[in-house]
Structure 1
Amino acid sequence: MELYTNLRQGEKGAWLSIGTYLILSSIKLTIGYIGTSEALKADGLNNTTDIIASIAVLIGLRIAQRPPDSNHQYGHLRAETVASLVASFIMLVVGLQVLINSLQSLWEPTGTTPSLLTAYVAIGSAVAMYVVYRYNLALSKRIKSAAVKAAAFDNRSDALVSIGTAIGIFGAIFGFPIIDSLTALVVAFLIIKTAVEIFWEAVQSLTDAFDIDEVETLSVLIRNVDGVIELLDFKGRAHGNMYFIDITVTVDPYLNVFESHRITEEIERTILRENRFCQVLVHIEPHIEKILPQNDDKSPTN
């Protein structure tokens, strides 16, 4: 199945992110301590959370590839969402730790000025993360993976954080040391913000929330299918990148089974043209108004 092939290809992006984050976090934390830059250390800790998040995505992609079994009739596609939920908690803890450290640095400043090397490391990191962002974005478009696309935008945000870190370090070098700690504070809030966004998206998926705009788009398409008289019910839920959609429509009650079945197949094809990663269940009911006799309002003649 194409979806599972795409999940395997998506692992390439996760592995690239893991490798890049391992190298950059090690360099940033080391140079940050040597060069006495709170901002660069905070950026390095941010990348350690990205390592954990990328590993969680990788594990989720692996588990999601397992086929349906007796206990998981819909497959294991939500494993990726569960992994994201775990990663969000880890990121939140690290973000709070960076926040505490930056506030302590503001309250009790060391008076030290970060070295110029720390600024160069931050700039180099921004360039590296932008390259990873472009690769993962292209990969997500090719395999149509929402998870890899989200990872790509996370890579882009990390590049922007590193640029902000470099600005803060240059400010400290040129006589404004408080900027370094303030930048660390901003990085902490960015980590926490990302963690909350990942958590909320995972919770929405696990509680079967479904995009209202997607419902409206698909509902219009279904109503326009030849033979559909009324769309009575539309339910949808997401398992990873797969949509499971349950639909109830009314048709002419005097159609035979083959004609009714043709309508269900046309509904399925219509939805799959819009999003090929869907499993559609269509329930047919007779249109009641077609069964009930029509009432004549003619008045009796005298």
Structure 2
Amino acid sequence: MDQYQDIKEGEKGAWISIAAYLILSAVKLGAGYWFLSDALVADGFNNLTDIIASTAVLIGLKISQKPPDQDHPYGHFRAETIAALVASFIMASVGLQVLIGAVRSLFEGDEAVPGLTSAWVALTASVCMFGVYEYNRRLAKRINNQALMAAAKDNLSDVLVGVGAAVGIIGSQFGLPWLDPVAALAVGLLICKTAWDIFYSSTHALTDGFDANQLSTLRGTIERTKGVRSIKDIKARVHGSNVLIDVIVLVDPGLSLIESHRISEEIERRMEGKHNIMNVHVHVEPYEIEAMQFREKR
């Protein structure tokens, strides 16, 4: 299965998330207003933002399937990252609205106690969302799709939000009505935290940031390739769900062009087999010349 088929497969997870969030947000908002639960209403708004985020992931997956063209020689894979960035701004705005509403409710001293049924609604929704999380996590891991894995992590945060809302609702039944808006406050903070995490990872990728520990691991794999004397330089960047690597390796100057090319092919094969990276640009230079230049500098 090639990378475009993988992306197409990932659309299933996005559609399942959208369908689940549509149903759960309607149920939570309806039950929250009916049973007077600020926490459940906040959780419902959280799911509304998740619809937007999942839709953004779906749009990004569809655009990223477009083949390379004259303006995009590397393809359109970064559409996933841009869509996630847009979704993070929308999620942050809704999170702030939830926070403002929760703080207002606390200061107004609303003594309304939410119905216990709303707690069962929140817990049932969390169980359903955990099933969606497991499906998306396994699918993302199987096709190695970072965008879908991010959506799965968002699913898991929704599970925790639902449990937190239920705790607040149940607590209010024991003479602690302030616990429900406090739970809503926690939900708002979690929405903003999720938005920040998506924003940070998206901007890090768009500015060609790359994890130093992962780069060190890739370097180690290349250094252990037969025929490679040392690495002069190595760079990596994220392109959607793909990793692009540029590396300069030093080899025995007595090797023929064909033999040097075989080393390059072996590096590419090892990177695909060990790290599922299929975009590797290898430049070969003679080791002896590099060593002479180093001695001259000293």
The verdict on a shared fold, with TM-score over 0.5 as the criterion, is yes
Of 214-223 and 230-239, the range deviating more from structure 2 = 214-223
> 1:59-208 alignment to 2 at 5 Å?
59-208=59-208
Could you tell me how far apart the structure 2 residues matched to 1:276 and 1:41 are?
A: 42
Q: Does 1:239 align with 2:239?
A: yes
**Partner SS, residue 284 of structure 1:** strand
CA RMSD of the aligned region, Å? Answer: 1.6
Q: What's the % identity of the aligned pairs?
A: 52
Letter in structure 2 aligned against 1:209: G
Could you tell me how far apart the structure 2 residues matched to 1:133 and 1:256 are?
A: 52
1:217-256, CA deviations, whole angstroms, 9 ceiling, x for partnerless residues? 1111211222211200001111111111101011122222
Could you tell me how far apart the structure 1 residues matched to 2:254 and 2:129 are?
A: 62
Q: Conserved in 1, the CA contact under 8 Å of 2:53 and 2:87? A: yes
Q: Conserved in 1, the CA contact under 8 Å of 2:228 and 2:249? A: yes
Which has the greater radius of gyration?
1
Could you tell me how far apart the structure 2 residues matched to 1:47 and 1:276 are?
A: 33
Letter in structure 2 aligned against 1:135: Y
What's 1:50 paired with? 50
Q: How far off is 1:81 after superposition?
A: 0.3
Q: Conserved in 1, the CA contact under 8 Å of 2:81 and 2:147? A: no
1:244-281, CA deviations, whole angstroms, 9 ceiling, x for partnerless residues? 11010111222221111111111111111122233111
1:166-188, CA deviations, whole angstroms, 9 ceiling, x for partnerless residues? 11001112211000010000000
What's 2:260 paired with? 260
Q: Conserved in 2, the CA contact under 8 Å of 1:253 and 1:290? A: no
1:86-124, CA deviations, whole angstroms, 9 ceiling, x for partnerless residues? 000000000000000000000002211111221121111
Q: How far off is 1:289 after superposition?
A: 4.8
What's 1:220 paired with? 220
Q: How far off is 1:288 after superposition?
A: 3.3
Unaligned runs of 5+ in 1: 296-302
1:184-219, CA deviations, whole angstroms, 9 ceiling, x for partnerless residues? 000000000000000000011001111212211111
Q: How far off is 1:290 after superposition?
A: 8.0
Could you tell me how far apart the structure 2 residues matched to 1:290 and 1:3 are?
A: 37
Q: Conserved in 2, the CA contact under 8 Å of 1:253 and 1:291? A: no
Could you tell me how far apart the structure 1 residues matched to 2:220 and 2:111 are?
A: 64
Letter in structure 2 aligned against 1:211: D
Q: Conserved in 2, the CA contact under 8 Å of 1:241 and 1:277? A: no
Alpha carbons of 1:283 and 1:26: their partners in 2 closer, same or farther (altered >3 Å)?
same
**TM-score, structure 2 as length reference:** 0.95
Could you tell me how far apart the structure 2 residues matched to 1:179 and 1:84 are?
A: 33
Q: Conserved in 2, the CA contact under 8 Å of 1:245 and 1:278? A: no
Could you tell me how far apart the structure 2 residues matched to 1:174 and 1:214 are?
A: 50
**TM-score, structure 1 as length reference:** 0.94
Q: Conserved in 2, the CA contact under 8 Å of 1:228 and 1:249? A: yes
**Partner SS, residue 205 of structure 1:** helix
Could you tell me how far apart the structure 2 residues matched to 1:9 and 1:197 are?
A: 25
